Amino acid sequence: MKFVHIADMHFDTPFTTLSSKGEFGKMRRLDQREIFKKIIEYIKQNEIEYFFIAGDFYEHTSIRKSTIEYINNLFKEIPQTKIFISPGNHDPYIKNSMYSDFYWNENVKIFTSKIEKVQTKEADIYGVGFDNFYCENLNIENIQIENKNKINILITHGSLNASDKASLQYNPISKNKLKQIGFDYVALRTYS
């Protein structure tokens, strides 16, 4: 099983400080597009079967439809790759979000705040995403793996072993609990 895992692309971040110094904010946003295009090329060239995006893929308050169209067109270049997106605190799955209002390519699966399991030939892929800009618990600790004979993967956005007040607002996840549940791989965006 081959996969690529990314998080925190933050497409269309304003880069306020950089933007105040001329064209640097715009250049940084163009860099993001170019880097993402290289990721897609890598997936294409290496026939990667799965692409996991673990939150904060874009900035909800500043994302442009043209950016989402650019991303979705790149996704169309890898139709054999199954793409799984778990929304985070900067790109929650909310009313009027690009996740709920945009027509994504058919190889894209976007998780909501309800834990879902997608069965593939190789793996059972569990996913859950934010439905708000803050999330203190997505109930990941209640997941029960049904088939331990398959590879079991979790895709989510969260703070691993959070201890400070700020991190506790972003889906705190215990590393020990994840081990107890028995995931073979956890695709996270995380601060430890």
Domain boundaries, the chain: 3-187
- The number of residues making up the chain comes to 192
pLDDT, average across residues 164-171: 62
In DSSP terms, which residues pair with 4 in a beta bridge? 51
* Token digits of residue 110: 């976007």
For residue 16, the model assigns a pLDDT of 58
For residue 100, the model assigns a pLDDT of 92
In DSSP terms, which residues pair with 5 in a beta bridge? 52
Burial of 16: CB neighbours in 10 Å, binned 0-12, 13-18, 19+: exposed
If one compares 52 and 173, the residue with the highest pLDDT of the two is 52
pTM: 0.90
In three-state secondary structure terms, 108 is strand
3-187 is classed in which CATH architecture? 4-Layer Sandwich (3.60)
Is 19's pLDDT higher than 60? no
Give the angle subtended at the CA of 165 by the CAs of 164 and 169, to the nearest 5°: 115
Is 126's pLDDT higher than 90? yes
DSSP state of 185: E
Q: How many CB atoms lie within 10 A of CB 99?
A: 22
Is 191's pLDDT higher than 60? no
Distance CA 192, CA 69 (A): 33
